[in-house]
Amino acid sequence: MESIVKYLWLIPTAPLLAAGVGALLPRRQRQLGAGLAIGAIGISFLLSCAAFLVTLHSGRVSSNFRWFDFGTTSVQLGWVLDPLGAIMAVMVSFVSLLIFVYSLGYMAKDENFKQFFCFLALFAAAMLGLIIANSLLLFFMCWELVGLASYLLIGFWFQKPSAAAAAKKAFIVTRIGDLGFLVGMLLLYAKTGTLLFYDNGNGCLDQTAVAGLVASTTISLLIFCGAVGKSGQIPLHVWLPDAMEGPTPVSALIHAATMVAAGVFLIARVYPLMTPEALQAVTWVGALTAVFAASIAVAQNDIKRILAYSTVSQLGYMMMGLGAGGVAVGMFHLMTHAFFKALLFLGAGSVIHCCHEEQDIRELGGLRTRQPITFATYAVGMMALCGVPLFFSGFWSKDAILDATHHWNGSPIPFYLGLLGAFLTAFYMTRQICWVFFGKPATAKAEHAHESPPVMTVPLVILATLAVVAGFFGTPAWPWFQNYLEGGQVGFDLSKLMNEHQLPLMLLSTALVAAAIVWSGWIYGRAAARPTRETDPLEVAQPTIFVLLQNKFYVDEFYNATVVRLTAAFAKFSDWLDRVFLGGLIKAVCVFALVLAWLDRALDEALVNESFDTGTETVRSSGRWLSRLQNGQVQRYLRIIGVAFCGLLILLLWGSR
């Protein structure tokens, strides 16, 4: 039982190896690259299942190792195996496996097919590493790797300027959140001296009271900043809809099912650290995001963009569940959402793939008969997302969240926001399904659509099955999931379903959903049947609100007008500072140095060189003059000696007297 932890690192390593080997393969080795990635994720899935089976019986196991030392402190990393990570690993590897297979069909004609699988494998490795990390530092490293993979995959069709811009935007916006995360991590390290989650009672999650209330709330909120960035919560949600510029399997895998859920997973992982105040903030942010994004989704026309806003909204629900209800509530919705949102995205991908990259729902229509399998699975996903009662997983998970907020002692408003969000969700999903699958084909592209190949439809069917089944693991009557995560006995008790708390709530949400579906279906069902679809019926009725929603509450414009322009202005100012002030300063120094050098040169030339030259010239000329005495005529020398001798003699004889 212990041994599985020792081999836990194999789960992320297998896809990492596949990514590394895949990167080295030549571009034309398409099948080999894809096969490697799929095989690796299959191995990861099997290992995850094994780990999952282990956790059914034993509790939390962790294995740490020392990474490096500096001074007297050492940085430790490690792996942890607990129900939270195990169920997440199973979910991620399984959804990844399905989506890898689906990508075989979806990306079949793409030139960079091998590279795509390489990136996907890198992403899977990072994501799985993040899940089993037992150190906030390792978590953060994988977190950033996941961001990198996301950047690469959003910008996969980098030839499109919009895709490149979206990749950049995603990277930069999530960095803002990550900055908070990093600061929070450093603060945590400063307070506790360790970044390990669990370390035999010494990890930062083992200790109950980490620091003072203010300090730990600050830490919690800072770490939550990272989650806000990654999970697209208000106000950092703007990158997620733009990320739909990437290939659809990427949208399904990264920007719906797994990566964006990493923020939620982060909060779940560090849940013991979160103070009640921080959880309050989490709840509020989640609730606001849920309604905010859902209302925007009502007025969008791009099939993937609607799903993207839906994802933002559902992530808000998860946050709300975490804040109000606890780990199990949030994680349960994360699980169910992963399945049905992956299903929806893959269904959308199937539609887009077969309608020649048409993404505008007004241009589609009548696909119900042309793509029966896609339609059926999409409908299952839609009903799961809307929360259609009893048979669809979304109903149970969303109900748990609503139940939690209903009992939340902070404020009743999140509960009502949640209800409003549920209503809006049902409304926009019905609108979308009416536009796309019912009525008549609006264009020739939709007219000539056909069903996707089995490699794409089989994953759809599997996911659709799961979208239904997954819900039954967390019903109030049989709360296996909650017990699995939090420990406790599982018992089947139908009476819990019928008590006075649950039943009215369920009936209320069911009524809301039914009303939304009927209303929306009535409006758009008729609209979809009309041959021209230029104007949305809602736009006719409420033009102001619709335009506001269609423009996403002008958040992007607001950011452009404030943050981006401020940054640009600051950059311009910095540029000016750099160019004029610092540049001028440097130029002044340069000029000063030049003058100094010029002076030095003048001094050197005039004084040193000149005097030296004069000296040597004098010596040389005097030497030349003296050398004329030495004319080689021996007799002349002798004459001079004779004259000198006479002089000497005369001096000696008469000079001394």
Q: Which is nearer to other proteins, 593 or 643 (CB)?
A: 643
89: number of Cβ within 10 Å: 27
Q: Which stretch binds other proteins (CB under 8 A): 76-84, 315-323, 601-609, 627-635?
A: 627-635
Subset of residues 119 to 158 that bind other proteins, contact rule: CB under 8 A: none
Which token pair is 106? 């979806």
Residues with Cβ within 8 Å of 82's Cβ and at least 6 positions away in sequence, in order, are 55, 59, 60, 61, 198
Ranges of H-type helices in 299-371: 303-324, 327-354, 367-370
Q: Counting contacts by CB under 8 A, is residue 656 touching other proteins?
A: no
Between CA 261 and CA 524 the distance in angstroms is 32
Ranges of H-type helices in 243-275: 248-252, 261-269
Cβ proximity of 321 and 261 under 8 Å: no
Q: Which is nearer to other proteins, 53 or 640 (CB)?
A: 640
Q: Which is nearer to other proteins, 68 or 654 (CB)?
A: 654
Q: Counting contacts by CB under 8 A, is residue 631 touching other proteins?
A: yes
Q: Which stretch binds other proteins (CB under 8 A): 288-296, 499-507, 547-555, 635-643?
A: 635-643
Rounded to 5 degrees, what angle do the CA atoms 562, 566, 569 make? 145
68: number of Cβ within 10 Å: 8
Q: Counting contacts by CB under 8 A, is residue 638 touching other proteins?
A: yes
CB of 629 to other proteins, least distance (A): 7
**Residue 96, CA atoms < 13 Å, CB-side half-sphere:** 35
Q: Counting contacts by CB under 8 A, is residue 636 touching other proteins?
A: yes
The residue count for binding other proteins (CB under 8 A) is: 20
Between CA 239 and CA 232 the distance in angstroms is 7
Q: Which is nearer to other proteins, 591 or 646 (CB)?
A: 646
Q: Which stretch binds other proteins (CB under 8 A): 21-29, 55-63, 513-521, 648-656?
A: 648-656
Q: Which is nearer to other proteins, 572 or 639 (CB)?
A: 639
Q: Counting contacts by CB under 8 A, is residue 639 touching other proteins?
A: yes
Q: Counting contacts by CB under 8 A, is residue 646 touching other proteins?
A: yes
Residues with Cβ within 8 Å of 451's Cβ and at least 6 positions away in sequence, in order, are 354, 370, 371, 372, 373, 374, 457
Which token pair is 368? 């119900």
Residue that has been written with the tokens 């650290």 in this structure: 273
Q: Which is nearer to other proteins, 68 or 625 (CB)?
A: 625
Q: CA-CA distances (angstroms) from residue 346 to 152, 243, 248, 351, 543?
A: 20, 15, 7, 9, 32
Among 59, 71, 201, 632, binds other proteins (CB under 8 A): 632
Between CA 472 and CA 468 the distance in angstroms is 8
- For the chain, give percent helix, strand, coil, nearest 5: 75, 5, 20
**Residue 286, CA atoms < 13 Å, CB-side half-sphere:** 32
CB of 641 to other proteins, least distance (A): 9
Residues with Cβ within 8 Å of 353's Cβ and at least 6 positions away in sequence, in order, are 105, 106, 248, 452, 456
Q: Which stretch binds other proteins (CB under 8 A): 102-110, 411-419, 439-447, 644-652?
A: 644-652
Q: Counting contacts by CB under 8 A, is residue 655 touching other proteins?
A: no
Q: Which stretch binds other proteins (CB under 8 A): 116-124, 223-231, 450-458, 649-657?
A: 649-657
Q: Which is nearer to other proteins, 598 or 637 (CB)?
A: 637
CB of 612 to other proteins, least distance (A): 24
Residue that has been written with the tokens 């849920």 in this structure: 290
Phi, psi (degrees; rounded to nearest 5) at 194: -150, 150
Q: Counting contacts by CB under 8 A, is residue 628 touching other proteins?
A: yes
Q: Which is nearer to other proteins, 109 or 628 (CB)?
A: 628
Q: Which is nearer to other proteins, 619 or 649 (CB)?
A: 649
Between CA 633 and CA 625 the distance in angstroms is 16
Q: Which is nearer to other proteins, 494 or 646 (CB)?
A: 646
Q: Which is nearer to other proteins, 72 or 633 (CB)?
A: 633
Subset of residues 34 to 93 that bind other proteins, contact rule: CB under 8 A: none
Q: Counting contacts by CB under 8 A, is residue 585 touching other proteins?
A: no
Q: Counting contacts by CB under 8 A, is residue 24 touching other proteins?
A: no
Q: Which stretch binds other proteins (CB under 8 A): 52-60, 81-89, 228-236, 630-638?
A: 630-638
Q: Counting contacts by CB under 8 A, is residue 214 touching other proteins?
A: no
Q: Counting contacts by CB under 8 A, is residue 634 touching other proteins?
A: yes
CB of 592 to other proteins, least distance (A): 52
Between CA 220 and CA 224 the distance in angstroms is 6
Among 317, 635, 655, 656, binds other proteins (CB under 8 A): 635
Among 488, 618, 645, 655, binds other proteins (CB under 8 A): 645
The full length of the chain comes to 657
Among 72, 159, 627, 656, binds other proteins (CB under 8 A): 627
Q: Counting contacts by CB under 8 A, is residue 209 touching other proteins?
A: no
Q: What is the DSSP string of 208-237?
A: S--S-HHHHHHHHHHHHHHHHHHTT-TTST
Binding mask 607-626 for other proteins (x = CB under 8 A): -------------------x
Subset of residues 265 to 324 that bind other proteins, contact rule: CB under 8 A: none
Between CA 484 and CA 477 the distance in angstroms is 14
CB of 615 to other proteins, least distance (A): 21
Binding residues for other proteins, per CB under 8 A? 626-636, 638-639, 642-643, 645-646, 649-650, 653
